[in-house]
Amino acid sequence: MEKTLVLIKPKAVSRGLVGRIIKRYEDKGLNLVALRMIKATGDQLAMHYEEHKGKSFYGSLLETMLSGPLVAMILEGEDAVSVVRLLNGATDPIQALPGSIRGDYGLEIEHNVVHGADSQSSAKREIPIWFPEEADA
């Protein structure tokens, strides 16, 4: 079984989409193994988005992610990373297909409602940022 990280972003939380988004993953057969609602810190976000540091959108990305609480979760299942990425849809909600989470709920690229790890190695790096107790698991 593979684990992956999903973040439900602050705009989605404020819009009351958390339950609907989690249901999509569970309906697909993924198991929710950890969940927490938190207000991210700048340090957490800097670690999480380190590959984007220096890019033109980095500052606005951090600002958006600091704008309110987010929901972090670990999902587990066969090919969990790929399944989550398929369910999430394209990063830009305008390009995301209807039926995908971003296609149905995303408003603009800065508020695309969810983040999903893009690979197993990213998931292994990202999970301990949001779930430090998983660092040694």
Active site residues: 115
Residues in the chain: 137
C-alpha to C-alpha distance for 20 and 43, rounded to whole angstroms = 29
> Dihedral through CA 56, CA 127, CA 29, CA 77, nearest 10?
120
**Which residues fall within 8 angstroms of residue 111, CB to CB, at 6 or more apart?**
9, 11, 12, 64
C-alpha to C-alpha distance for 133 and 128, rounded to whole angstroms = 7
**Which residues fall within 8 angstroms of residue 90, CB to CB, at 6 or more apart?**
96, 97, 100, 102, 103
